[in-house]
Amino acid sequence: MPSSLSFWDIFIILIYFGIILWIAQWASRSKSDSGGAVDYFLAGKNSGWLVIGASLFASNIGSEIILGVSGAGARGNMPMANFEIIASLVLILLGWVFVPFYLRTGVYTMPEFLEKRYSKACRSYLSVISILAYVITKISLIIFAGALVFETIGVPFWTGAIVTVIATGFYTVLGGLKAVIYTDMVQALVLLLGTIAVTVFGLYALGGWDQMIEVITTASAQDGNPPTEQFFNLWRPVSDTDYPWTGMLFGAPILGVWYWCTDQYIVQRTLSAKDVNNARKGALFAGYLKLLPVFIFFIPGVIAYALLQEGVIEFSMENADQALPAMITGFLPTGLKGLAIAGLLAALMSSLSSAFNSSSTLLTIDFYQKYRPKASQRDLVRFGRLATIVLVLVSLGWIPFMKALMGGGIFHYLQSVQAYISPPIAAVFLFGLFYKWINAQGAIVSLWVGFVIGVFRLVAEFLANEGSIVVTQDSLLGVFLGINFLHFALFLFLFCAFILMVVSKMGQPQSAESLQLVTFQKQADRPNFQWSSDVILTVILIALVLVLWWLFSVWGIAG
């Protein structure tokens, strides 16, 4: 449903672009222009907790997340909000458990840390898998979701996608991580203002919360999907084929550990911290921000569903990921429409810039520097910028394939793919910190076994959905594919952990000296849980998560 933009909407969007490009120019003129790799890839290791937390949030909240979560709200898939809530708990793990090891080893990348803990083979594995995952899932999904936004506001697909990708690549190349994290801070603010405006105005148009509940109750009673009493319930029965509570409670955290604690795309923000305290506070701040998507992304999707029932806006429930763009273009007034679009553009650009910068860091540190160990600091920065340009071009080349590969349900697709690649990586990182006897042989075998099983599931599922193979439910392959993706993540994690331990026990442990900085050292590494501000913030965050779980568990459609 294309809609023309007014002068004021266009003006607000141009102001947003102007501010972002000015910040990028400022960042590029500061220390990052001195040619140092630390400045370019880790923002000079001088970031405070506020910019780290905002950057963690903005990097994660891309347009594919916003459209996917709001689409889930329109479908009544409230359990998907658990991915956002559980992320708050996993960020606590990042701040208290993982960050101290990353900072004291002085690593630039997660594969580099894996080499220090295990071997070069483990480093190469994670580098290749990470870069492929960024190009095929993160970058491509971000661009695809952004294209949905552009099409709904009347901007041609290629025009909007190319302009945004090139603009994002430009300031990423220009200023490195410092430009990325400082623009992320502004983009997080624009994103929050835009989505809050959509939520408030949408509720106002419906006549308030109670009126929205009445509309949803009537519509839900008519088609029974989802059942009225389950619309706002975070937990579904074990028999639920999509989001059983067992999968959410035990499977989803595995995806979270991989994404929030071991993925270069996210962790690189904490590596830029001044010190451990700022990194930890930044992770906790991001944990608080991750509680917001339930209200500013999921609820707008529910509002869009109610507005659809009232005939105020139009979109197809078969492609419910267009719910939020339909709200923006359908009835938001002048000015607010521009602010909301700027918020979606902020989400798109912040995620893209993070993906570009993390990928270029991996290519530079884990490949270029490995084969040219005597390369100067300026050479590293120059190659990093060149790598970003190449990634921009590859991403543009991938765009035409996205419509063939993606349909509705962006968020479900994203989480299911992550469920197939994350368990072995999460197991190797997590158990490697706690158990010194786990060795490199166990790690590499576990990684490859998990990779083969995960990719087999992914390919078989794709072929079955495309009709290329016929699968019966009572066949071995049918049973294998019938396992819920979250249960599959849990089983694969446990199996990889078993392989990791068995193979390690059969080999020789690594030397104590090589493990000194990368494993827990009894009392020395035990967190200081005195009543500091970090501990208080952690306790409050856990309490808020428990309150949300309780609230949405006992809260039916009637509120």
Q: What is the pLDDT of residues 392-444, one digit of tens each?
A: 777 667 666 555 444 445 666 667 778 888 999 999 999 999 999 999 999 99
Asked if residue 550 belongs to a domain, the reply is no
Range of the domain at 259: 7-417
Q: How does 131-153 read in b/e, with b if 16+ C-beta sit within 10 Å?
A: bebbbebbbbbbbbbbbbbbbbb
Strands in 35-189 per DSSP E? none
Task: Give the CA dihedral 426, 428, 432, 433, nearest 10 degrees.
Answer: -20
Most confident region among 65-74, 77-86, 515-524 by mean pLDDT: 77-86
In this structure, of 165-174, 350-359, 367-376, the range with the lowest mean pLDDT score is 165-174
Asked if residue 49 belongs to a domain, the reply is yes
pLDDT digit string (tens) for 484-493? 999 999 999 9
Q: Which residues contact 482 (CB under 8 A, 6 or more apart)?
A: 473
Asked if residue 297 belongs to a domain, the reply is yes
Distance CA 28, CA 509 (A): 46
CA dihedral sign of residues 317, 322, 328, 329: negative
Q: Which residues contact 40 (CB under 8 A, 6 or more apart)?
A: 32, 176, 177, 178, 380, 381, 384
The confidence score (pLDDT) of residue 30 equals 56
Answer yes or no: is pLDDT of 162 > 80.
no
CB atoms inside a 10 Å sphere around CB 42:
25
The confidence score (pLDDT) of residue 1 equals 43
Mean per-residue pLDDT of the chain: 81
Mean pLDDT of 141-164: 70
Encoded amino acid at 474, one letter = D
Answer yes or no: is pLDDT of 41 > 60.
no
Domains held by the chain: number: 1
CATH number of the domain that residue 189 is part of: 1.20.1730.10
CA atoms within 13 A on the CB side of 460: 18
Distance CA 422, CA 251 (A): 11
Answer yes or no: is pLDDT of 25 > 90.
no
Asked if residue 404 belongs to a domain, the reply is yes
Mean pLDDT of 539-559: 78
Distance CA 106, CA 112 (A): 10
Distance CA 360, CA 429 (A): 22
Mean pLDDT of 235-260: 88
More confident residue, 32 or 97: 97
> Measured between alpha carbons, how far apart are the two ends of the chain, in Å?
32
In this structure, of 28-42, 204-218, 441-455, 467-481, the range with the lowest mean pLDDT score is 28-42
Q: Which of 360, 444, 361 is nearest to 394 (CA)?
A: 360
Question: Token pair for residue 12?
Answer: 């607000």
Distances (CA, A) of 483 to 62, 241, 259, 464: 29, 9, 22, 14
More confident residue, 444 or 182: 444
Q: Which of 411, 343, 308 is nearest to 153 (CA)?
A: 343
More confident residue, 179 or 207: 207
In this structure, of 29-33, 94-98, 352-356, the range with the lowest mean pLDDT score is 29-33
Distance CA 222, CA 213 (A): 14
Distances (CA, A) of 270 to 168, 188, 423: 21, 17, 22
Encoded amino acid at 545, one letter = V
Encoded amino acid at 451, one letter = F
Answer yes or no: is pLDDT of 529 > 60.
no
**Helix, strand, coil % (nearest 5) of the chain?**
80, 0, 20
* 475 secondary structure, DSSP code: S
Asked if residue 16 belongs to a domain, the reply is yes
The confidence score (pLDDT) of residue 557 equals 41
Residue located via tokens 């912040």: 350
Asked if residue 186 belongs to a domain, the reply is yes
Answer yes or no: is pLDDT of 32 > 50.
no
Distance CA 479, CA 482 (A): 5
Asked if 295 and 468 touch (Cβ cutoff 8 Å), the reply is: no
Answer yes or no: is pLDDT of 261 > 90.
yes
pLDDT-based confidence at 462, cuts 50/70/90? Answer: confident
Question: Token pair for residue 73?
Answer: 């709200």
pLDDT-based confidence at 246, cuts 50/70/90? Answer: very high
Distance CA 27, CA 43 (A): 9
Q: Is the pTM of this model over 0.85?
A: no
Answer yes or no: is pLDDT of 119 > 90.
yes
In this structure, of 62-76, 143-157, 536-550, the range with the lowest mean pLDDT score is 143-157
